[in-house]
Amino acid sequence: MNLEETGGFASSELIAEAQTLTLDTLTLREAVAIGHFTTELADKKNLPVSIEVRMGSWCVYHISLDGASEGHDSWINRKCAVVEHTKNSSLLELVLCEEQGLSWYEKSGLSENIFAANGGAIPLMTHDSNLVGVLIVSGLAGPDDHRLAVAGVKAFKGKR
Q: Each residue's pLDDT tens digit in the chain (160 positions)?
A: 555 578 889 999 999 999 999 999 999 999 999 999 999 999 999 999 999 999 999 999 999 999 999 999 999 999 999 999 999 999 999 999 999 999 999 999 999 999 999 999 999 999 999 999 999 999 999 999 999 999 999 999 998 6
pLDDT of residue 106: 93
How open is the CA angle 51-55-60, to the nearest 5 degrees?
A: 50
What SS3 class is residue 102?
A: coil
pLDDT of residue 5: 76
Q: What is the pTM of this model?
A: 0.95
Closest to 137 in 3D by CA, of 28, 64, 43, 58: 64
State how far the Cα of 157 lies from the Cα of 65, in Å rounded to an integer: 23
Backbone dihedral angles phi then psi of residue 59, each to the nearest 5 degrees = -80, 110
pLDDT of residue 4: 57
The size of the chain, in residues, is: 160
pLDDT of residue 105: 95
